[in-house]
């Protein structure tokens, strides 16, 4: 029996047969779920490229870009028939890596192949721009002791830039900040080769080797040492001048200090005749207590530093090491007490100064005509030789300086500013000037001598002596 095309409903209306209605519902469901008309359920989507563009880069910057595929059947393999920019290469896993060595703007055709041999091809633009380059091949010469600042330059690449030291030291006293400014206060003359580097935001990092030549200061190199009664030594020097390594000790009661001509070492003398040498220097002997006449008041080192003379308050001179003995003051000739000793420039003689202003010469040293009148009771406290001429200076406790021979008259401390506390004098290295030492450690420069900065400051109880070292 054939089913009628329509069946009566309960309400008396006719409806379609059941089978066609079920088929129609199933069709609607299949269309709604997308499983009808698009292939077999569970099949992989078609192979395609997820990568839509290549990252730009620059010369000198490490590069890495990962190509991505979709659909198809893994694993994938990437290939190209195009020529990549120099320095770059494509791996089968889809990584383009390397460091570009030349600028480029090229179109690269890439092919993606899956395990089922399905392929898809697309063309991409790859741009390589100019990376950073250092534009400062040389730097201005710094000068010892003079403030210095120089900007390193860079062009190309991508800001921000960060500067650094890639290898080698910088000259002593200079530093480099991340902005490429080399600055500071140079402390020593000489040449230093340094490798500078600058990195940009893309990771490029060019380097350059620059030799920085630090010139010596055009000023006169100057330095002096001050010792206190406990033997603590303080060093003062112009910029860039090396001074002997100072030490703090307790040799007894220090009364005098002297150095060699090179200024590399110094020797301290105590009132009892003991000699203490600085680091690296040799002590050639001290005065035995049984031989000491009076008390030691001064020490003079011969120019090469191979010996020294000690002078006592009674005019006795004790020679040690390579310092040749040239004589002492006979008791009958002594006027007042001896207060100091100074050797001539070549170490072939020395002068002894008494508190009365009387000078006694020995060896090749000669008593010289006073250039300034010495009062009847000068109260002289020290003597210093003039290294630039045949002359020497005496100074009294009031800061009055008396020039002898060709020594220049460079000035004295004005009255009332010293309270009779001047205790020492030493000449500037070029002559024509001197430093006066006060008991409180203050040093007053005159003539060619200039104020100096402290390099090594030791603890001070009371200053007793001063000596130049350059």
User: Per residue, what are the HEC states of the chain?
Assistant: CCCCCCEECCCCCEECCHHHHHHHHHHHHHHHHCCCCCCCCCCCCCCEECCCCCCCEECCCCEEEECCEECCCCCCEEEECCCCCCCEEECCCCEEEECCCCCEEEEEEEEEECCCCCEEEEEEEEEEECCCEECCCCCCCCECCCCEEEECCEECCCCCCEEEEEECCCCCCEEECCCCEEEECCCCCEEEEEEEEEECCCCCCCEEEEEEEEECCCCCCCEEEEEECCCCEEEEECCCCCCCCCCCCCCCCEEEEEECCCCCCEEEEECCCCEEECCCCCCCCCCCHHHCCCCEEEEEECCCCCEEEEEECCCCEEEEECCCCCCCCCHHHCCCCEEEEEECCCCCEEEEEECCCCEEEEECCCCCCECCCCCCCCCEEEEEECCCCCEEEEEECCCCEEEEECCCCCCCCCCCCCCCCEEEEEECCCCCEEEEEECCCCEEEEECCCCCEEEECCCCCCEEEEEECC
pLDDT bucket at 148, cuts 50 / 70 / 90: very high
What is the torsional sign of CA 259, 260, 262, 264? negative
- Residue 220: per-residue pLDDT: 78
For residue 89, being part of any structural domain is answered with: yes
Range from 90-104, 181-195, 449-463 carrying the lowest mean pLDDT: 449-463
The count of structural domains within the chain is: 3
For residue 36, being part of any structural domain is answered with: no
**Residue % of the chain over a pLDDT of 70:** 89
Residues 462 and 327 in one domain: yes
Nearest to 59 by CA among 101, 96, 97, 98: 101
- Residue 1: per-residue pLDDT: 39
For residue 5, being part of any structural domain is answered with: no
For residue 317, being part of any structural domain is answered with: yes
Range from 25-39, 80-94, 105-119 carrying the lowest mean pLDDT: 25-39
Residues 298 and 402 in one domain: yes
Mean pLDDT of 153-170: 95
Q: Are 232 and 248 in contact (CB under 8 A)?
A: yes
Q: Which two tokens stand for residue 301?
A: 């080192």
Q: Are 139 and 210 in contact (CB under 8 A)?
A: yes
- Residue 250: per-residue pLDDT: 63
- Residue 139: per-residue pLDDT: 96
Residues 386 and 430 in one domain: yes
pLDDT bucket at 419, cuts 50 / 70 / 90: low
Tell me whether the omega of the peptide bond preceding residue 160 falls within 30 degrees of 0, making it cis.
yes
Tell whether the model's pLDDT for residue 131 goes beyond 80.
yes
- Give backbone dihedrals phi and psi of 300, rounded to 5 degrees, phi first: -135, 125
Residue 234 belongs to a domain with what CATH number? 2.130.10.10
Tell whether the model's pLDDT for residue 115 goes beyond 80.
yes
pLDDT bucket at 42, cuts 50 / 70 / 90: low
- Residue 259: per-residue pLDDT: 96
Q: Which two tokens stand for residue 241?
A: 């001048």
Residues 117 and 139 in one domain: no
- Residue 65: per-residue pLDDT: 96
Residues 271 and 358 in one domain: yes
Domain final residue, candidates 214, 232, 259? 214
Domain final residue, candidates 104, 129, 154? 129
Nearest to 468 by CA among 266, 251, 246: 266
Q: Tens digits of per-residue pLDDT, 359-372?
A: 999 999 999 998 87
Residues 273 and 320 in one domain: yes
Contacts of 81 (CB under 8 A, 6+ apart): 109, 111
For residue 255, being part of any structural domain is answered with: yes
Tell whether the model's pLDDT for residue 200 goes beyond 90.
yes
- Residue 456: per-residue pLDDT: 85
For residue 87, being part of any structural domain is answered with: yes
Residues 54 and 104 in one domain: yes
Mean pLDDT of 199-222: 91
Residues 269 and 289 in one domain: yes
Domain final residue, candidates 129, 154, 182? 129
Mean pLDDT of 47-53: 95
Per the structure, the complete domain to which residue 187 belongs is given by 133-214
Residues 202 and 296 in one domain: no
- Residue 30: per-residue pLDDT: 39
For residue 9, being part of any structural domain is answered with: no
Residues 456 and 392 in one domain: yes
**Mean pLDDT over each residue of the chain, to the nearest integer:** 88
pLDDT bucket at 13, cuts 50 / 70 / 90: very low
Find tokens 């997820």 and name the residue.
50
Residues 262 and 411 in one domain: yes
- Residue 416: per-residue pLDDT: 60
- Residue 161: per-residue pLDDT: 97
- Residue 331: per-residue pLDDT: 94
- Residue 307: per-residue pLDDT: 97
b vs e for 37-57, b when ≥16 Cβ sit within 10 Å of the residue's Cβ?
A: eeeeeeeeeebebebeebeeb
Can you give the pTM of this predicted structure? Answer: 0.58
Residues 196 and 230 in one domain: no
pLDDT bucket at 18, cuts 50 / 70 / 90: very low
pLDDT bucket at 239, cuts 50 / 70 / 90: confident
Residue 111 belongs to a domain with what CATH number? 2.60.40.10
For residue 18, being part of any structural domain is answered with: no
């Amino acid at each position: 029996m054939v089913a009628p095309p329509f069946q009566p409903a309960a309400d008396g209306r006719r409806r379609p047969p059941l089978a066609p209605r079920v088929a129609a519902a199933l069709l609607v469901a299949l269309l709604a779920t997308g499983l009808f008309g698009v292939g077999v359920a569970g099949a992989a989507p078609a192979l395609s490229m997820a990568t839509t563009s290549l990252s730009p880069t620059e010369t000198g910057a490490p590069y890495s870009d990962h190509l991505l595929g979709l659909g198809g059947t893994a694993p994938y393999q990437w290939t190209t028939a195009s020529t990549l920019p120099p320095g770059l290469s494509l791996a089968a896993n889809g990584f383009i890596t390397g460091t570009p060595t030349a600028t480029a703007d090229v179109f690269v055709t890439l092919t993606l192949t899956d395990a089922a041999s399905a392929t898809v091809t697309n063309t991409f633009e790859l741009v390589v721009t100019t990376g950073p380059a250092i534009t400062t091949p040389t730097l201005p010469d710094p000068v010892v002791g003079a403030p210095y600042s120089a900007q390193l330059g860079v062009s190309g690449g991508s800001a921000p830039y960060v500067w650094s030291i890639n290898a080698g030291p910088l000259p002593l006293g200079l530093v480099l900040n991340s902005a490429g400014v080399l600055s500071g206060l140079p402390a020593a003359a000489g040449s230093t080769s340094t490798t500078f580097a600058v990195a940009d935001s893309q990771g490029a990092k060019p380097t350059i080797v620059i030799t920085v030549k630090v010139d010596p200061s055009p000023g006169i190199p100057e330095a002096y040492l001050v010792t206190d009664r406990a033997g603590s030594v303080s060093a003062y020097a112009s910029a860039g001048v090396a001074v002997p390594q100072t030490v703090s000790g307790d040799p007894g009661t220090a009364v005098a200090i002297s150095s060699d001509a090179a200024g590399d070492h110094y020797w301290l003398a105590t009132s009892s005749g003991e000699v203490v040498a600085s680091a690296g220097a040799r002590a050639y002997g001290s005065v035995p207590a049984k031989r000491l006449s009076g008390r030691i008041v001064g020490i003079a080192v011969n120019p090469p530093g191979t010996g020294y003379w000690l002078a006592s308050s009674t005019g006795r001179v004790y020679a040690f090491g390579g310092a040749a003995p040239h004589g002492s003051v006979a008791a009958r000739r002594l006027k007042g007490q001896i207060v100091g000793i100074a050797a001539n420039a070549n170490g072939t003689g020395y002068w002894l100064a008494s508190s009365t202003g009387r000078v006694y010469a020995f060896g090749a040293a000669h008593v010289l005509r006073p250039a300034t009148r010495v009062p009847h009771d000068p109260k002289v406290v020290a003597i210093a030789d003039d290294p630039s001429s045949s002359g020497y200076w005496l100074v009294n406790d009031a800061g009055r300086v008396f020039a002898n021979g060709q020594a220049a008259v460079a000035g004295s401390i004005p009255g009332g500013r010293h309270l009779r506390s001047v205790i020492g004098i030493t000449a500037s290295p070029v002559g024509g000037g001197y430093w006066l030492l006060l008991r409180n450690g203050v040093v007053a420069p005159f003539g060619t001598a200039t104020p100096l900065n402290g390099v090594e400051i030791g603890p001070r109880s009371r200053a007793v002596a001063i000596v130049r070292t350059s």
